[in-house]
Amino acid sequence: MSTDEQPGQAGNPPPGQHGPGADGEPQAAILSLDQLSLSFGGLRAISQLDLQVDDREIVSVIGPNGAGKTTVFNVITGVYQPSSGDVRFAGRSIVGQPPHRIARLGIARTFQSLRLFLNMSVLENVMAATYGGTRATPAESILRLPRATREEREVRALAEEILSFFGQRLAGYRWDQPAYSLSYANRRRLEIARALATRPRLLLLDEPAAGMNPVETHEVTELVGRLRDERGVAILIIEHDMHVVAGVSDRVVALDHGIKIAEGGFDAVAGHPAVIEAYLGRHPEDLAEAN
C-alpha cells in the first residue's frame, strides 16, 4: 500500500483537523480519539492525543519505549479510563464501557507480552473468543437444545476458518494441541486468530513482529496486509520493526511522552526532525546552537 499523503501533512495538524478524513466532508473514521489524556498521579501518560483510523485503513503507531503506545491501546479497549477526552468507535463514545463490551462492539486486540490461554487447545483459544457473539445459556448447552448445537457448530466452523487463514503455519493437526506447545511465532499468530474470532471491525496489534526472525517478520508484513484486504478490518498497529511499519502503513503516527509528535506517510514521519530527536536525542551541534 503506497502512502498517498503529502509530506507536508506530517507534524501536528492544526486543532480540530485530524488526518486525511478531515477534508471538510463528514468523517468516515471508524475510530477517533479526541483530545485524549491520561494521567497516573503526576505522570501524564497521554496528553491531548488526537488520532483517527478510517475504515479498512492501516495506521502504525511508533515511538521510543515508554512513549505511551500500549497505554493508548489500553484506553481504547477500556482497560484504563481516560482522565479527559473521548474515544469514539463507529460514531459512538465508548468511554466507560467495560472491556468485554468494547470487544463485543468490534475492537479486538493482541498483547505485546503474549496472553494466550496456554492450557487450552489451539482451537479452544479461538472458540473462547466467540463467547460474546453467542447466546446459548448453560441449560441449553447441557440439554443440547437447537440453539446451543447450532452455535457450537457455527463457532467451530468459524474457528477452523480463521485458523485456516494462517495456512500451513497453524495447520489442522495442531488444533488439538495445547497452546503452550506452540512456538513463539505461532503463539503470536494464534493471538491474532483469537482476536479475529471476536469478528472485529478494528484490530489493535501490539508489536506483532516482536521477537521474530526476518522470515517471520516478512510474513507478518504480508499477514497484516491480507487481514485488511481479505477480512476487511481496519488495523492500528504498534511496531518497532521499521521494515514492517514501512511495508504495511497507510499512515504513521509517532508518539513521545504521550504526545503526538508527527503524523503522515512513513517517509515523512521517519524523516521528521522531532521523530529523529525522540529516538536519537538532539545533535550536539544543535544543542550548542540552542544554547
Partner 1 sequence: MSAYPHGPPDSQEPLDILENPPGSRGPQVGADEWVARQAGRREYLPSWLGTTQRQFERIGFWPKLAIVGLAAAVLPAVGLGGFQLQVGIDTLVIVLLALGLNIVVGWAGQLDLGYVAFFGFGAYAFALLSSAQIGAHGIHLPAYLSVPLVLIGAAALGLLVGWPSRRLVGDYLAIVTLFFGEAFVEFTNNVAPSVLGGPNGITGIDPIRGFGLQLNSNTGYYYLLVILVVLTMAVLRRLDTSRTGRAWRAVREDPLAAESMTIPVNRVKLMAFAFGAVVAALAGTVFAAQQISVFPTDFDTPVLILIYAALVLGGAGSIAGAATGALVVMIIYDGLLRNGNYAGYLFYGLILLTLLVKLRPWRRLAAVLAATAALGFAAHAVARAISASAVAGGPHSTGWVGAALRDWVIVPANAQTAGNWGYVLLVCLLIALVQVSSRWRTILLPPTLCLASFVWETKLSVEPAITRQLLIGAILIVMMNARPYGLLGTRRVETPI
Q: 87 or 259, CB closer to partner 1?
A: 87
Helices in the chain by DSSP H: which ranges?
69-76, 99-105, 122-128, 138-143, 146-164, 184-196, 214-231, 242-248, 266-270, 273-280, 284-290
Q: 170 or 259, CB closer to partner 1?
A: 170
* DSSP for 249-281, written as a single string: -SEEEEEETTEEEEEESHHHHHT-HHHHHHHH-
The closest of 67, 38, 61 to 257, measured between CA atoms, is 67
Set of cell numbers at residue 44? 501524564
CB of 5 to partner 1, least distance (A): 15
Evaluate whether 35 touches 229 at the Cβ level (below 8 Å). no
CA distance 83 to 40: 9
Q: 35 or 134, CB closer to partner 1?
A: 134
Q: 47 or 198, CB closer to partner 1?
A: 198
CB of 29 to partner 1, least distance (A): 22
Which residues on neighbouring strands pair with residue 32, listed in sequence order?
A: 52, 88
CB of 201 to partner 1, least distance (A): 14
3-state secondary structure of 158: helix
Q: 215 or 290, CB closer to partner 1?
A: 215
Q: Exposed, middle or buried: residue 138 (CB in 10 Å: 0-12, 13-18, 19+)?
A: exposed
CB of 215 to partner 1, least distance (A): 5
Set of cell numbers at residue 185? 511465532
Q: Which residues bind partner 1 (CB under 8 A)?
A: 77, 79, 98-100, 103-104, 108-109, 111, 113, 115-120, 124, 127-134, 136, 138, 141-142, 144, 148, 151-152, 155, 173-174, 177-178, 180-183, 186, 194-195, 197-198, 214-215, 218-219, 221, 243-244, 246-247, 266-267
CB of 288 to partner 1, least distance (A): 34
Evaluate whether 74 touches 112 at the Cβ level (below 8 Å). no
Q: 17 or 181, CB closer to partner 1?
A: 181
CB of 208 to partner 1, least distance (A): 14
CB of 194 to partner 1, least distance (A): 6
Q: 44 or 140, CB closer to partner 1?
A: 140
